[in-house]
A and B are shown apart, each in its own frame.
Chain A
Amino acid sequence: MPLLCVSKLTVHYGGYLALRDVSIEVRQGEIVCVMGANGSGKSTLLNAISGLVEGQGGVVLEGRSLQGIPTHERLALGLAHVLERRRLFPYLTVLENLQLGAYLPTLRGARAQALERVESLFPILRERRHQLAQSLSGGEQQQVAIARAMMGNPRFLMLDEPFLGLSPYMVEEISLVIRAVNQEGVTVLFNEQSVQLSLGLSHRGYILESGRLALSGTSAGLLADPRLHEIYMGLSYA
């Protein structure tokens, strides 16, 4: 049984069709990427999985349908979601942001250990503890955002464009962290425009085109697939 199973998901924004009949699967222990151009529906897919937008179709996590479960009850089911552009609480300190990651009463008891764990993953956060989140650089903010999600001790982590606007050095750092988190047993689903970057990091990938699933497969298979090059003609490869 896959960890996450999305079947025939359709999302409308008013009259605009953002996703149409999209089905994906993520298996336990995998890193899976969703690629596609701007407006192809990558973020919408993640937002529908966490319940931030409503859609028709099935979303099943560890055999349990998420239908009708409000967003704020999904972290307790093991689902964490880092939104595009980090979205830290700008006027809270780094530490407060992290503490809120373990807000759920069931997580509070182990908060100190969780903090220890994420700060060993991101040593810079220890130095930044008492700084306001908005004063951090983009790369540091991304680290806090991932660390905050990890404070919730998720089994499944979704990252929406985690590399957006980061320096090449930071892209490398964040990639390493995603691998490290995955090695601790967290299954990861992330979005990214760049094919090379995405497929270099993930086991499998899905490619969306105008809200529909265009292509899917293992990362090695996709890289060798001529159709990938057709779909991505004129799009950035970097």
Chain B
Amino acid sequence: MPGGGAMTELVIQGALSGLLIGGVYGLIALGLNLVFGTMRVVNFAQGTLLMVAMFMSYWLTAKTGLHPYLTPLLTLPALFGLGYLIQLWLVSPLLAREKAREPMSVLLMTLGLSLVLENSALMAFSADYKTVQVGQTNAVWFIGDYIISIARFWGLLAMASTVALLWAFLTRTDLGRAIRAVGQDRQVARLLGIDDRVIYNFAFGISTAIMGIAAAALLPFYYTHPAVGTTFLLKAFVIVVLGGLGSMPGAALGGLAVGVIEGVVGIFTEAAMAQIVLFAVFVTMLFFRPAGLLGVERK
């Protein structure tokens, strides 16, 4: 093992790399949190929807030569529509029958949906790992002695701007405020003339559309594969528990934190160990601060 100054440099480099991939993690957690914060449903299909988004972007890039970073122009509306319809046709009918505040049957349905999507993708696209090569794929910047992957840097920037845009939407538009209102008190929202079912459709649609941004950010440096969602979903769970279920800034910061933990731990040991540390943090958090770092207490 290196010692002294070299050691510090390595740790900083690990943290930097982690921070950059953490942006993408944050995006996935953001989607998970938007749906949870609005209807108290943990969407187990969130990772699989990322996989769907990645195949869309991959396909567009492979077939038309469109740069991955431009694919959201087409995939965002498609993914929004997909999420809107999943809510309208699959989630809402189940939700209407459930009286519980955190509906179990819906949670299981999203798990089922993710299995169907994943296996359909396996059938349609086989289990090959697909990658695209673009200018950003192996490009790096040097800042002093540190290496910054350009593709990952754009990923972080995409996350930051998505968080900012989503926040502006949620606080400055009527629809955005209605989404937050429904998450806080569905009955009162109805009394004010807000149709909560339509709000749910929008929340699920937006949360799915965000996966299109994550997918475009990932594509230049990550493989596309039918099971790619599972890896990210598990991390997103750790993130929302770290940052706080339902908290938007929590999802962003939690994503960065998880990236940094992975990056730094990965320097000292192998990648598998980093995952173990991550889930140890997850379990510890659940014990000592179940609402998360920025989580709001629930009534």
Contact = CB atoms under 8 A, between A and B. Distances in A.
A110 interface: no
Given A91-B296, A103-B178, A71 B184 contact: no
A54 B31 CA distance: 34
Interface stretch (B56-64, B185-193, B207-215, B275-283): B185-193
Nearest to B182: A89
A81 B193 CA distance: 11
Contacts of A100: 177-178, 181, 189, 192, 194
Interface of B is mostly: helix
B118 interface: no
Contact of A89 (B171, B174, B180, B296): B180
B196 interface: yes
B194 A96 contact: no
B9 interface: no
Contact of B191 (A81, A90, A92): A81
A72 B190 contact: yes
Interface string B192-203: 111110000000
Contacts of B180: 89, 91-92
A146 to B, nearest CB: 13
Given A89-B181, A103-B174, A50 B191 contact: yes
Interface of B: 171, 174, 177-178, 180-181, 184-185, 187-196, 296
22 contacts: A70-B195, A71-B190, A71-B191, A72-B192, A72-B194, A73-B193, A75-B193, A80-B191, A83-B188, A83-B191, A87-B188, A89-B180, A91-B184, A100-B189, A100-B192, A100-B194, A103-B177, A103-B178, A103-B192, A103-B194, A152-B192, A152-B193
Given A89-B185, A91-B180, 10 more contacts: A72-B190, A72-B191, A83-B187, A91-B296, A92-B180, A100-B178, A100-B194, A103-B193, A104-B193, A148-B192
